[in-house]
Amino acid sequence: MTRLRSPKGCPWDRKQTHESIIKCLRDETEEVIDAIRKKDMHNLREELGDLLLHVVFHSQLAREKGHFDFDDVVQMLNRKLIRRHPHVFGNHKARNIGEVWKKWNEIKAKEKTDRRHAKNRARSKNVGR
C-alpha cells in the first residue's frame, strides 16, 4: 500500500482518503456477507482479502498523517481480545455463553467509560494552556 500511494504508484490510490473509500468498504462488506450466506468458501476467501485490503488502506492513510499504522491496529486488537476474554487469558470462570457475553459487555462498558474519562482529562489539561 505504501508503494501504491507513492509518487510512482497508482494515481487512483494516491487520490483516496478515508472518506472517499467508504462506499468501497461498504460494498466489500456486503460481498463478504453475501459469500457467507451462500456458503461460498472460495468467494469468501477472496472477499475477506478485499476487506482486509481496506484495513490496510485505512491504516496507511492514518500512518501518512502520523496517527497510527497497521501494526498499531493489530496490537490494539490483540490487547482487546485478551482483555475481553478473561475466561481464556485470565482467572475468570465462565460456565456458559451467557456468562461470557455478560462479562464481555461489562468489560466493553468499562472501556467506554475509561475512554470518556481519558478524553475529559485531556481536555481539562488543554483548557489551562
What residue numbers bound the domain in which 34 lies?
1-69
pLDDT tens readout for residues 69-120 = 999 999 999 999 999 999 999 999 999 999 999 999 999 999 999 988 888 8
Same domain, 58 and 104: no
Residue 46 scores a pLDDT above 80:
yes
Which amino acid is it at 86? P
Whether 78 is covered by a domain: the verdict is no
Whether 102 is covered by a domain: the verdict is yes
> How many folded domains does the chain comprise?
2
SS (H, E, C) 43-96: HHHHHHHHHHHHHHHHHHHHHHCCCCCHHHHHHHHHHHHHHCCHHHHCCCCCCC
Same domain, 91 and 64: no
CA–CA dist 22, 16 (Å, integer): 10
Of 27, 45, 69, the last residue of a domain is: 69
Confidence of residue 129 (pLDDT cuts 50, 70, 90): low
| Residue 128: predicted pLDDT | 58
Same domain, 60 and 100: no
Q: Are 53 and 77 in contact (CB under 8 A)?
A: no
Question: Whose grid coordinates read 483516496?
Answer: 16
Mean pLDDT of the chain: 95
Same domain, 60 and 114: no
Same domain, 99 and 41: no
Whether 79 is covered by a domain: the verdict is no
* Residues in contact with 58: Cβ distance below 8 Å, sequence separation at least 6, in sequence order: 18, 21
Average pLDDT rounded to a whole number, residues 36-44: 98
